[in-house]
Amino acid sequence: MEKTYLNRFFTRSNIINPQINKDLVVHNYMLLKGYHRNEYFFKNTLFNKLVIGKYSFATTAAFEEVAIGKSKADFVLVNHSHGVVFEIKTDLDNLDRLYTQLEDYSTVFSELYVVTSEKNYYPVYRAIKNFETVGIIVLTNGVNLSIRKEAINFDEYLDFNYLFKLLRRNEYEDIIKRHFSVLPDVPPVYYYKECLNLFKKFNIKVAQNEVMKKLRERKKLNQVKLVRELPMEIRWLMYSSKLNRDELEIIIRQYK
């Protein structure tokens, strides 16, 4: 089975195709597990093991490709007001930019992990040995998440500007109104800057907590809980596809 086929198979447009059934999904996912552990396989494993297996939809949200600086975090988990980045490095990935990516992520998140394979553990370890606070998780052959190096919370690089950039306008307005009662009364051209200036009055950890809570609130509980009813092989794909409740219910019926 070609790897290109497997990459294309686990896409939203393909999975919602009524001609695709559960047996085919399970079969192709087993091929991913055995022969082609791509980025989707890693993300789906993180989602099933952590969001569904360890935490709760009521307190936890997950995101992918979160833009921070010049990088995009592969998998971000927010539990209550604590966020963690999981940067995925499969056997196919280049490690040249890894250190720079982690520097970008540390402007917003205090806990960082690199998730990789058994084969790739030592190359990853060598690549980040000078970034002592970053943890390493190995996705084992048995599809377990093995922490080989524990992450250490690190706040020194947190940056108000990067934190603020993650917020939508309605989100930062809500934060400012709750803390300062009113919004800036300035011409539109200065509005964003004045909101940012107020945001910078917080303690940096308070600012970080406010941003994490807003990220978590973006996931609607009554919709994402339905993802648990889907086959585990496609849960992350459907969770991250921003489907509404009716669309999710149609897919659940398709894969019964």
Do residues 242 and 165 both lie within one domain? Answer: no
Do residues 10 and 22 both lie within one domain? Answer: yes
**pLDDT tens across 61-112, in order?**
999 999 999 999 999 999 999 999 999 999 989 999 999 999 999 999 999 9
Do residues 165 and 147 both lie within one domain? Answer: no
Rounded Cα distance, 6 and 28, in Å:
7
Look at residues 157, 174, 191 and tell me which one is the last residue of a structural domain. Answer: 157
Q: Is 172 helix (H, G, I), strand (E, B) or coil?
A: helix
Name the domain count of the chain.
Answer: 3
Do residues 120 and 45 both lie within one domain? Answer: yes
Look at residues 132, 157, 182 and tell me which one is the last residue of a structural domain. Answer: 157
Do residues 145 and 168 both lie within one domain? Answer: no
The pairing of beta strand 60-68 with beta strand 71-79 = antiparallel
Do residues 109 and 190 both lie within one domain? Answer: no
Rounded Cα distance, 211 and 76, in Å:
13
Angle, vertex CA 237, rays to CA 232 and CA 240, nearest 5: 120
Check which CATH number belongs to the domain holding 102 and give it.
3.40.1350
**pLDDT tens across 123-160, in order?**
999 999 999 999 999 999 999 999 999 999 999 999 99
Do residues 167 and 118 both lie within one domain? Answer: no
Inter-residue contact 35 to 44 (CB < 8 Å): no
Q: Where are the alpha helices (DSSP H) in 61-202?
A: 98-105, 121-127, 160-165, 169-180, 188-199
Do residues 126 and 68 both lie within one domain? Answer: yes
Do residues 211 and 229 both lie within one domain? Answer: no
**pLDDT tens across 154-203, in order?**
999 999 999 999 999 999 999 999 999 999 999 999 999 999 999 999 99
The pairing of beta strand 135-139 with beta strand 145-149 = antiparallel
Do residues 3 and 29 both lie within one domain? Answer: yes
Domain carrying residue 176:
160-217
Do residues 77 and 16 both lie within one domain? Answer: no
